[in-house]
Amino acid sequence: MESELFGFEKGAFTGAARRHIGKIEQADGGTVFLDEIGDMPISIQAKILRLLQERCIERLGGDETIPVDVRIIAATNRDLKAAIAQGLFREDLYFRLKVLTIELPPLRDRLEDIQPLTAHYLERFSHELKIDNPGIREDALDLLEKYEWPGNVRELANLIHKALIFNRGNPLSVSDLSQIIRKQESPGEISQGSNQEEAIRQWVHFCLSHPSNDHSFEFFSDTICAMAVEEALKISNGNRSQAARLLDISRPTLHGKIDKYGINTISSTQVIR
pLDDT, tens digit, 9 for 90 and up, residues 132-189: 999 999 999 999 998 888 888 989 999 999 999 888 888 999 888 887 887 665 544 4
pLDDT averaged over every residue in the chain: 84
pTM for the full predicted model: 0.55
pLDDT of residue 118: 96
Mark 241-258 as b/e (b = at least 16 C-beta within 10 Å).
eebbebbebeeeebeebb
Determine the pLDDT at residue 93.
Answer: 95
Q: What is the pLDDT of residue 188?
A: 46
More confident residue, 63 or 27: 27
Taking 70 as the threshold, does the pLDDT of residue 193 lie above it? Answer: no
How far is the CA of 196 from the CAs of 56, 158, 192, 199, in angstroms? 49, 16, 6, 5
Span 111-117, average pLDDT = 94
Q: State the pLDDT at residue 196.
A: 61
Tens-place pLDDT, residues 61-101: 988 999 999 999 999 988 899 999 999 999 999 999 999 99
243 touches 236 (CB < 8 A): yes
Of residues 196, 264, 197, the one with CA closest to residue 229: 264
Is the pLDDT confidence value at 268 over 60?
Answer: no
Q: Which residues contact 147 (CB under 8 A, 6 or more apart)?
A: 108, 181
Which stretch, 11-20, 60-69, 258-267, has highest mean pLDDT? 60-69
What pLDDT does 104 receive?
87
Give 215-263 pLDDT, tens digit per residue.
678 878 888 888 888 888 888 878 888 888 888 888 888 988 888 888 8
Examine the pLDDT at 19 and tell me if it is beyond 60. yes
Instruction: Using the predicted structure, report yes or no on whether residue 120 has a pLDDT greater than 60.
Output: yes
